[in-house]
Amino acid sequence: MYPMTTLHFSVSWGDQERTVSFSEVSGLTMEAEVVEYRGGADPQFSTRKQPGLRKFSNVTLKRGIAPAVSGNGLFEWYNSISIGTVERRDVTVSLLNEEGDPVMAWKVRDAWPVKLEGPGLKSTGTDVAIESVEFACEGIEIETRS
């Protein structure tokens, strides 16, 4: 059995049946804070470490800009944000095998776009124009499939 490569994945959000193409996903990070504690009657002269609050990083998606790329609702979703209200959706990132079947998935819970970034433009450049979207979230769940 060989490790999976990172080049074959899909992204979807909300109740979309279809996936949206992206070239890069980053920030699928979960961590637990470490709380140091020492009881007053503890005979050891050191602290004990125990888990505290869990934290989840913002997730960033990047893709090349293509003419007539529309219909995924991303810009409408971002533009629907107003002070104190936002539509939260689940974003699913699935790692796919050679046949295109999901092997592992990260479900980014209650996500909402906090940042849209257009490409850096340069008149002498020949790079692909890349846009990115960053999501805040309330949690990340990992699902494995056999």
pLDDT digits (tens, 9 = 90+) for 61-110: 999 887 765 556 788 888 888 888 899 999 999 999 988 899 999 999 99
Positive or negative torsion for Cα 96, 102, 106, 109: positive
Query: What's the predicted TM-score (pTM) here?
Result: 0.83
